[in-house]
Structures are given as structure tokens and as C-alpha cells.
Amino acid sequence: MIHLAFLLLQILTPIEGQQENPIVRVEREAWIMGTSAVVIIEADSREFAMQASETVIRELERFESVVSTWRSDSELSLLNTSPVGENIPLSQELFLLLARAEEISRRTKGSFNPFMGSLIKVWDLRGEGRIPNSQELQTATRHAQLDAFALDFTHHTVARNFNSSWIETGAFGKGAALAGLIPLLSGSVSYAEINFGGQVWVYSRNPTEGLGRIIQIAHPSDRNESVLSVRLRNQSIATSGISERFIEVGDESFGHILDPYSGFPVDPWGSVSVISSDPMEADALATALFVMGPDKGFEWARKQQDIAALFIRDNHGQLSSKWTTSFQEFFSVPQHSTKGIR
Ligand code: ADP
Ligand code: MG
């Protein structure tokens, strides 16, 4: 069956100025994991470009069938609804993914937490939103800690420990899906840029040639306005913040990123972008650093072998930024001041 999403957008253009052996560019858009995936491929021929773009979209769809928490038949959904205490055998792929997510959670002292489904439920982050009472919040927070799931590394099984616990992939699924594409592109593909729900991954066949591709970083409160830009070669950039994703309940509004310790939504202080050659790490760490906040997060990122992180604080429309040393090299225009952006 031809997926409808394949047909949404398809442009084939020889790249200007390269009349002999022109590089061909294909752009496609698909709707996967509840968000849009824009796939740009440049390759040595039309056929290769089409093939590669199809490989990418098929792989993202395949990955969705393993980790989606929206589809009741995915492998992860089966684990999320499994009887409490039962060891569920998992595919190597899902087990290793959860092990990686757990490891990043430990590394970030739980600021990034894949096991916080119970908290997402009591705030109804996937629906209209609601304010939980203190009893609900207490129970949900208890069931969202690292002991909510027990991973058995010998048998590759996972057991769910509380009846309200489930695994949410919102903060790392897109990054993990992009990471899965890395081994699939090679040879005839000279360049790829994949924007998956705002997270971008760039592939370059010859990373030492050229200046890399410019990727815009949005204003923390307006994703349509660009405030800075970076150049990427074989890296991914993930940004976490609140932007327009507010949930409103009566007079109150809150964002979709929660502090797993308090159980409350994180105050909208701005946004944080992380660049890494590992897209899953970029995704998960951006969420973790947003939870930690611009001060604690900055210190933590610096100490962790200097994660490439950019913090943009939005103080009533007044933006200020700071970044770790390893982020500096990615700016498309050298930045020196750590104070005002504009
Ligand atoms: P986006 O989805 O906008 O790319 P993130 O990568 O930061 O943003 O992921 C946010 C999503 O992750 C939320 O919608 C929610 O499902 C889930 N989530 C919220 N807070 C946390 C957290 N502290 N750790 C892990 N996942 C979280
Ligand atoms: Mg994330």
C-alpha cells in the first residue's frame, strides 16, 4: 500500500550551478509519530535520491510501530499495558532503547525521565489538560520514579512495577528514530537534512568539505521567528522549551515538560538547544536541561565533558543567552557576547 503521507510533498530539482553530474534534491513530508517529518535528500541521481528518501520514511514508520504510545499494537504499548510485576520479553531493539533512556535518566539525576507516564496522565498532557489534586500528584510522582520499571539485562525482559506506570517516549522518541537513520545513508547520498517535529539531523557524505548546513534556532516563544543559526555537518540539534505548546485549564496555563521530582510543570523560562552527533542524546538532554533550568543546567552541561548546549532565557520578551564552550564552534556567525542576542 502506498502511504498517503508519501504523496504530500515531492520536489525533484537539479541543484543550480552543477550542470555536469548534477546533484539531485528530493524533498518529502510525512506525518509520523504524531508530527511532521520533512526529509531532504541530495544524491548523485534522481533514482538514488528517491530511494534514500523512501528508505528514511519507511524506517521512521517502522520505528513508530515499535515505540509509539499512541498505537495500541506497538511493542511499547504492549509493555505499557502488561500485568504489574510480569517480566515481558522485549525485542533487542526496544530493550536497548529503554536501557539507553534509563542510563540518560540516571546521568541527568532523573531530570529526563522516560518512566513518567503516570504524571503525564494526571495532568492530562495528551488531552485537554487538568490540574491534579495533591493525592493524585503524590501517587503519580511515586509511580514515575526510576523503579517504575525493572530492566533485566540478562534476559532482556522488563517488568512494570505499579499499575499507573507507563513509559512515554515524547522526550526521546524522535531523537531515537533519527539515530536509527545514521547507518542507512551512505554512498550515493551527498547530503540529507531531516526535520522531525522540530529536531533536525544533518548528514554529510564529506563532512570535511564545505561549511555545513545552516539550521535556524527559533525564538523561545515564537517558533516562526529565528534568533540564531548554527552550521551542522553530521549532527543533530534538539530544542526543548514551552513555545506555543501551552495547556490551558481555566485561568491557569502550563507547559508540557514536567519536573519529575516535584511532579509540576516547569516554569517557562526560555529554551535550550543541544547539538550532538547522537540525535537521541540531543533530544533527551535538551529536555533534561530544560528541567534543570538555565543556571543549574548550564553548570551541569559544562561539567559533563562539555555538552554543546545553548540556553536562551526569555525575560518578558527580553532575550539573553549563554552557551557551553563546545557549542561555540557551531554558530554560523561567530558569537562573542553571552548577554543580549539582539
Ligand atoms: P518536544 O516534544 O516539543 O520535542 P521534548 O523533547 O522536550 O519536547 O519532550 C517533551 C515531551 O516529553 C512531553 O510532551 C512529555 O510527553 C514528555 N516529558 C515531559 N517532561 C518530561 C521529562 N522531565 N522527562 C522525560 N519526558 C518528559
Ligand atoms: Mg527531548
CATH number at residue 128: 1.10.3980.10
Ligand nearest to the CA of 258: 1
Distance 242 CA to ligand 1 centre (A): 10
What CATH number did the domain enclosing 339 receive?
A: 3.10.520.10
Query: Is the residue at 260 inside a domain?
Result: yes
Banded pLDDT at 6 (limits 50, 70, 90): very low
Q: Give the per-residue SS3 of the chain.
A: CCCHHHHCCEEEEECCCCCCCCCEEEEEEEEECCEEEEEEEEECCHHHHHHHHHHHHHHHHHHHHHHCCCCCCCHHHHHHCCCCCCEEECCHHHHHHHHHHHHHHHHCCCCCCCCCHHHHHHCCCCCCCCCCCHHHHHHHHHCCCHHHEEEECCCCEEEECCCCCCCCCCCCHHHHHHHCCHHHCCCCEEEEEEEECCEEEEEECCCCCCCCEEEEEEECCEEEEEEEEEEECCCEEEEEECCCCCEEECCEEECCCECCCCCCECCCCEEEEEEECCHHHHHHHHHHHHHHCHHHHHHHHHHCCCCEEEEEEEECCEEEEEECHHHHCCECCCCCCCCECC
Region 315-332: mean pLDDT is: 94
Q: Which residues surround ligand 2, an ion (CB under 5 A)?
A: 171, 283, 286-287
For 59-82, what is each residue's pLDDT tens digit? 999 999 999 998 999 999 999 999
Region 80-92: mean pLDDT is: 98
For residues 55 and 195, state if they share a domain.
yes
Banded pLDDT at 109 (limits 50, 70, 90): very high
For residues 236 and 320, state if they share a domain.
yes
pLDDT at position 308 over 60 = yes
Domain count, the chain: 3
For residues 127 and 236, state if they share a domain.
no
For residues 301 and 326, state if they share a domain.
yes
pLDDT at position 253 over 90 = no
Would you state the pLDDT for residue 76? 98
Highest mean pLDDT among 147-156, 219-228, 252-261: 147-156
The atom of ligand 1 lying closest to the CA of 197 is 4
Cβ–ligand 1 distance for 260 under 6 Å, the answer: yes
Query: Is the residue at 74 inside a domain?
Result: no
For residues 134 and 274, state if they share a domain.
no
Question: Among residues of the chain, what percentage have pLDDT more than 90?
Answer: 80
Domain hosting 110: range is 81-160
Banded pLDDT at 12 (limits 50, 70, 90): low
pTM of the entire predicted model: 0.93
Nearest CA to ligand 1 atom 18: 257
Distance 21 CA to ligand 2 centre (A): 39
Query: Is the residue at 75 inside a domain?
Result: no
Banded pLDDT at 245 (limits 50, 70, 90): low
pLDDT at position 246 over 60 = yes
For 182-209, what is each residue's pLDDT tens digit? 999 978 999 999 999 999 999 999 888 8
For 30-41, what is each residue's pLDDT tens digit? 999 999 999 999
Cβ–ligand 1 distance for 189 under 6 Å, the answer: no
pLDDT at position 132 over 90 = yes
For residues 216 and 306, state if they share a domain.
yes
Query: Is the residue at 302 inside a domain?
Result: yes
Banded pLDDT at 321 (limits 50, 70, 90): very high
